Structure 1
Amino acid sequence: MRYMMLLRLDPAKAPTEGPSEELMTEMGKLLEDMTKAGVLLDTGGLRPTDEGTVIRQVAGKQTVLDGPFAEAKEVIGGYALIQAKSVEEASQWASRFLAIHGDEWEITAEVRQVDEPA
């Protein structure tokens, strides 16, 4: 089964200088472990919201909003698409993602199974 891990954070509570070199090294090791285990399908970090766009549709009318999104208390900072046997296994990988961020980051991983045709 495929699982999407959405990594959410509060930009106001993240280090202003972004990820440290140490964190990026640890992330590289984790991604290597995931690749060797055969679970990693895709992963990536996302650019800041001031470089993004939101398109909302209400009652058939679309509105385009350019970032930054001041009302956002949490944003998706990255994602990983993995192949796992269960939500428990996927959650263990997500837990490792969070752990390498240490105490400096307030970060949440949402783990959801990808809905696929039967």
Structure 2
Amino acid sequence: MRFLTIYRPESGVEGGMPSPEHMAAMGRLIEEWTAKGVLISTEPLTPRDQGARLRLADGAFTVTEETVRAGGFAFLNAGSKEEAIEHCKTFLKVAGDGTCEIRQILEFAPQPA
């Protein structure tokens, strides 16, 4: 199963540069998970004031220049939601205080022709 995880830091500057020690610890975790086939992809995100949120209602678009706080995302392989939760616990121990939202990616079976 594949999961999207979104990390929201508890404090600190979004989009800021972490310490070299923190970067090294994150690098080790990324290498380990990539080698094990757990990590599909991960990227940090810019601060929310550099994002935009679009809404379409009654044919009209509204653009809000600020989005929800998020430090980054990852796509993970896990055998179950419980396993994904355990991966996120490991991640949070490295990343620091914050929240990880976990959402399973729906996988549709091909329909016969």
> What is the match of residue 117 of structure 1?
108
TM-score of the two chains, using structure 1 as the length reference: 0.80
Supply the RMSD in Å over aligned alpha carbons. Answer: 1.9
Deviates more, 1:55-64 or 1:44-53: 55-64
Is the counterpart of residue 99 in structure 1 residue 90 in structure 2? no
Decide which of 82, 89, 106 is 1:88's aligned counterpart: 82
Aligned length in residues: 108
Q: State how far apart, in whole Å, the 1-side matches of 2:32 and 2:41 are.
A: 14
Runs of 4+ in 1 over 6 A off after TM superposition: none
Query: Contact 2:4/2:75 (CA < 8 Å) preserved in 1?
Result: yes
Q: Which runs of structure 2 are paired with 1:23-102 in the superposition (5 Å)?
A: 23-66=22-65, 69=66, 75-102=69-96
Distance 1:40 1:22 in 2: 21
Query: 1:94: how far off?
Result: 0.8
- Over the matched positions of the two proteins, sequence identity in percent amounts to 38
Partners of 1:63 and 1:15 in 2: CA distance: 27
Name the CA shift for 1:51/1:15 in 2 (closer, same or farther; >3 Å).
closer
Matched, 1:7 2:1: no
| Structure 2 unpaired stretches of 5+ | none
Which letter maps to 1:8?
R
Instruction: Tell me the CA shift for residue 97 of structure 1.
Output: 1.1
CA distance in 1, matches of 2:40, 2:95: 21
Q: What one-letter code is carried by the residue in structure 2 that aligns with 1:14?
A: G
Partners of 2:59 and 2:21 lie apart in 1 by 47
Q: Per-residue CA shift, 1:84-115, capped at 9, x if unaligned?
A: 1111111111111110134xxx3100111101
Query: Runs of 5+ in structure 1 lacking a partner?
Result: none
User: Per the alignment, in what secondary structure is the counterpart of residue 76 of structure 1?
Assistant: coil
